[in-house]
């Protein structure tokens, strides 16, 4: 079984690692905008569910999100050498481009439900980036780890605001998510529904794991820095010893030549 088969099966395989350098590089560039789009899809879902987004604004944002999917898919497909493989690995993007075409939402109320297909993107997106998180943690790239964690926690806060009636706004939800993940637990914002409490339990477990991973990451990073300093010190000492050895060899040659000259004079 191939590695990352789940990503490909879900249609969020991204750029294949064996693709040309330019395609892989641009795939990396577009990951940051994808994080923003992922967060907006959650916020958009919350605003529409609670009737807080005007029709004109909703249509504008629908076009922005749809255009991004179209541009991202088109650009990476054009850059890839094996275009069919790229489209096959990212079939979910094609589904979103076709089924989430903004004019369809206005045909009738039932077509408006097609907006929910964009939530499927979140599942695939975070599944795809789980590999990136694991790589980041392994390679001690602490900055990226914290950024990805922050996006995930913020997204969870927006999601709980839509799930639980006791949490009245995304801002409250984000505050609750951060307090929960860090296991501080002030208790000023608490989920009241069964769904909210189940989600909170999962988030608490994730928070414990996340804090442990970050702590381990920091420790590994500091140990790595210390090891690098020791290695550089040892390398400097080794260069000095090699330099001294060269000088000693030079002195030995000079002494040998002087002794040889003296012996010749005696003879």
Q: What is the pLDDT of residue 5?
A: 63
**Whether the Cβ atoms of residue 170 and residue 50 lie closer than 8 Å to each other:** no
* pLDDT of 196 over the 50 cut: yes
* pLDDT of 135 over the 60 cut: no
pLDDT digits (tens, 9 = 90+) for 137-182: 565 566 676 777 888 888 888 888 888 888 888 899 999 988 888 7
Task: Read off the pLDDT of each residue in 23-48 and give the average, rounded to a whole number.
Answer: 84
pLDDT digits (tens, 9 = 90+) for 75-89: 999 999 999 999 998
Provide the pLDDT confidence category of residue 2 given band limits of 50, 70 and 90. very low
Q: What is the pLDDT of residue 75?
A: 95
Query: What letters, b where the CB count within 10 A reaches 16 and e where it falls short, cover 218-233?
Result: eeeeeeeeeeeeeeee
Residue with tokens 């993107």: 121
């Amino acid at each position: 079984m191939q590695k990352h088969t789940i990503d490909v099966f879900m249609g969020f395989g991204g750029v294949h690692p064996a693709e040309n350098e330019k395609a892989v590089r641009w795939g990396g560039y577009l990951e940051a905008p994808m994080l923003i789009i992922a967060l907006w899809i959650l916020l958009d879902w919350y605003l529409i569910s609670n009737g807080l987004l005007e029709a004109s604004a909703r249509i504008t944002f629908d076009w922005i999100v749809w255009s991004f999917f179209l541009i991202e898919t088109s650009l990476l497909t054009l850059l890839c050498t094996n275009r069919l493989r790229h489209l096959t690995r990212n079939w979910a993007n094609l589904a979103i481009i076709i089924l989430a075409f903004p004019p369809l939402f206005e045909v009738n109320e039932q077509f408006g439900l097609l907006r929910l297909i964009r939530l499927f993107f979140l599942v695939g997106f975070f599944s795809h980036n789980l590999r990136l998180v694991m790589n980041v943690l392994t390679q001690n790239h602490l900055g990226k780890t914290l950024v990805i964690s922050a996006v995930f926690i913020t997204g969870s806060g927006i999601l709980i605001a839509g799930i639980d009636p006791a949490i009245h706004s995304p801002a409250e939800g984000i505050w609750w998510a951060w307090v929960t993940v860090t296991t501080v637990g002030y208790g000023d914002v608490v989920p009241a529904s069964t769904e909210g409490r189940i989600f909170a339990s999962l988030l608490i477990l994730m928070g414990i794991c996340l804090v442990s991973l970050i702590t381990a990451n920091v420790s590994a990073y500091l140990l790595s820095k210390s090891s690098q300093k020791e290695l550089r010190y040892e390398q400097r000492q080794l260069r000095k010893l090699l330099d001294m050895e060269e000088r000693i060899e030079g002195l030995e040659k000079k002494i040998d030549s002087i002794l040889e000259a003296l012996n010749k004079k005696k003879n």
